């Protein structure tokens, strides 16, 4: 069996924002530290994602100790984090109730200007951690589970079936692995990385967001890679790529760490 290693690590501090490449990451029960702990909410209480506002993909959010910096097109603001004492805001994400602590007017004005819609940013806290469906597992503003893992071998297999290849950034993973066979992650039950241990929760069903090139979101949606994925990765009404992980033993994971799956 070929050795499997971590080739990339990513966090997305603001839901739907540009990926932050990491050398190492702290694993918490809720996921990778700093991942999707902020989200944009409009005045109706709807959480906004790049599905409806692809320009979110061009916003960079960087956590700097007690502050967070938002930037886009040369325009940036740096504002305090940990705003639990501020106004609490309830909203809806994928039809489910969710909430957070509102950032201040500086953030509201900046984000509203860049997204051309009246909105603000909310920060998650223990009070607002969500629950995975059918499991007593806490998650942040991530779609469905704490951590998403994808495989370079699986992406190569997909790209070999397409006229124009796509990058891994279409799938917005936290952990990318190299080595092993294409889609062997489908059969993993659990895995170990360094001192950390994970349970494989379920396959990740892909949505229209994968059809937006994060490098050129202004081009809008296309048919790929969902069209090709649906020819060989469809299960019921879902088209799958990648697997969701639930942390069971915490610690630090790093680039090039060995991944030891268990079937």
**DSSP for 36-102, written as a single string:** S-EEEEETTSBEE-TTT-GGGGG-EEEEETTEEEEEETTEEEEEES--TTS-EEEEEETTEEEEEEE
**What are 17-55's pLDDT values in tens digits?**
999 999 999 999 999 999 999 999 999 999 999 999 999
Own/partner contacts of 113-120, CB < 8 Å, gap of 24 or more, are 114/55, 114/59, 114/72, 114/73, 114/75, 115/40, 115/48, 115/53, 115/55, 115/56, 117/42, 117/48, 117/53, 118/42, 118/43, 119/40, 119/41, 119/42, 119/43, 119/48, 120/40, 120/41, 120/89
| pLDDT at residue 211, rounded to an integer | 95
**How confident is the model over 220-247, as pLDDT tens digits?**
888 999 999 999 999 999 999 999 999 9
Average pLDDT of the segment spanning 99-112: 95
Q: Please list, residue by residue across 24-57, b when 16 or more beta carbons sit within 10 angstroms of its beta carbon and e when fewer do.
A: ebebbebbbebbbbbbbbbeeeebbbbeebbebb
Q: What is the mean pLDDT of residues 185-212?
A: 96
- Is the pLDDT reported for residue 79 higher than 80? yes
Q: Confidence band (pLDDT; 50, 70, 90) for 219?
A: confident
List, for residues 118-174, the tens digit of each pLDDT value: 999 999 988 888 888 767 788 999 998 999 999 999 999 999 999 999 999 999 999
Task: Tell me: pLDDT of 96 over 90.
Answer: no
Question: What per-residue confidence (pLDDT) applies to 4?
Answer: 98
pLDDT for residue 155: 98
What does the pLDDT read at residue 58?
96
Predicted pLDDT of residue 134: 63
pLDDT at 85: 65
The predicted structure's pLDDT at residue 128: 83
Mean pLDDT over 191-200 rounds to 97
Residue ranges and CATH numbers for the domains of the chain are 5-10+137-262 (2.40.33.20), 32-130 (no CATH)
pLDDT attached to residue 136 = 75
Which pLDDT belongs to residue 17? 97
For the ranges 81-90, 112-121, 151-160, 180-189, the lowest mean pLDDT is seen at 81-90
Is the pLDDT assigned to residue 218 strictly greater than 90? no
Phi, psi values for residue 193, rounded to 5°: -135, 110
């Amino acid at each position: 069996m070929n050795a499997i290693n971590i080739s990339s690590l990513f966090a997305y501090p603001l839901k739907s924002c540009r990926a932050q490449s990491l050398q190492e990451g702290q694993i918490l029960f809720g996921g990778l530290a700093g991942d999707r702990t902020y989200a944009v909410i409009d005045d109706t209480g709807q959480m906004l994602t790049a599905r409806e506002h692809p320009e979110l993909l061009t916003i960079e959010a960087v956590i700097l100790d007690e502050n967070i910096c938002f930037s886009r097109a040369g325009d940036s603001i740096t504002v305090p984090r940990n705003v639990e004492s501020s106004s609490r805001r309830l909203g809806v994400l994928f039809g489910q109730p969710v909430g957070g602590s509102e950032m201040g007017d500086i953030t509201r004005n900046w984000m509203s200007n860049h997204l051309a819609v009246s909105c603000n940013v909310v920060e998650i806290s223990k009070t607002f951690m969500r629950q995975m469906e059918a499991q007593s597992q806490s998650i942040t503003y991530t779609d469905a589970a704490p951590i998403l893992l994808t495989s370079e071998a699986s992406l190569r297999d997909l790209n070999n079936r397409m006229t124009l290849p796509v990058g891994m950034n279409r799938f917005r993973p936290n952990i990318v692995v190299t080595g092993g066979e294409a889609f062997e992650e489908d059969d993993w039950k659990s895995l170990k990385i360094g001192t950390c241990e994970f349970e494989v929760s379920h396959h990740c069903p892909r949505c229209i967001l994968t059809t937006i090139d994060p490098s050129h979101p202004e081009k809008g949606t296309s048919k790929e890679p969902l069209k090709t994925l649906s020819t060989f990765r469809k299960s019921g009404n879902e088209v799958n790529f990648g697997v969701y992980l639930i942390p069971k033993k915490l610690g630090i994971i790093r680039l090039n760490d060995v991944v030891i799956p268990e079937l």
